[in-house]
Structure 1
Amino acid sequence: MFRLWVKLFKDNHLLRDTTICDDTADTRTHKVMNCLEKACYEMDLSKPIWLDNTIKDFQIHDKCRFTGDSFIEEVSFDYMEIQVLEEDY
């Protein structure tokens, strides 16, 4: 089971969060992208743009933040944080 926790923050307060599960046999990258896409759809957001430093943070910590600059549309929060909660190996 693969679980991704997606959280929206404004002024260091949690506005909204969701946990998305993926039981497919896809690669880890596909699971992350699929879960992120489902979470963005659920929260009515456009998908964020992965910058080099975002990718690097996620590879090292299994956690990263997307600021408003990572979205094409204007967002009403300061940042979106994603974190891997559970991962099958």
Structure 2
Amino acid sequence: MFRLMGCIYKDARILKSTVICDESASSRTHKIFSGLNFICLEFDLEKPIWLESNITDFQHHSKTRFTQDNFIEELDFDYLSIEVIEEG
């Protein structure tokens, strides 16, 4: 089971949180992008732009933060965090 958690933070508090489960035979990369799409749909957000810093963070720590720099539209929160919480 592969589980990806997404949280929206403002002023160091969680405003919204969700966990996406994926039991498909897809690659890890596909599961991450698919999970991020579902998180964005649930939170009514556009998809963020992956910057080099996001890619590096995710490769090393299996988590990253998307701030205003990753979005075109204006955000009413500080950042969106995604993290792999289960792989297997």
Same fold (TM over 0.5): yes
Q: Aligned-pair distance for 1:75?
A: 1.3
Cα RMSD (Å): 0.6
TM-score by length of 2: 0.97
TM-score by length of 1: 0.96
For residues 28 and 60 of structure 1, the distance between their equivalents in structure 2, rounded to whole angstroms, comes to 14
Q: How does 1:21-60 map to 2 (within 5 A)?
A: 21-60=21-60
Alignment identity in percent?
53
Q: Aligned-pair distance for 1:72?
A: 1.4
Q: Counterpart of 1:39 in structure 2: which amino acid?
A: I
Task: Give the unaligned 5+ runs of structure 2.
Answer: none
Task: Give the unaligned 5+ runs of structure 1.
Answer: none
Q: Aligned-pair distance for 1:31?
A: 0.2
The list of structure 1 runs, each at least 4 consecutive aligned residues, that deviate by more than 3 angstroms after superposition, is none
Q: Aligned-pair distance for 1:74?
A: 1.2
For residues 18 and 9 of structure 1, the distance between their equivalents in structure 2, rounded to whole angstroms, comes to 12
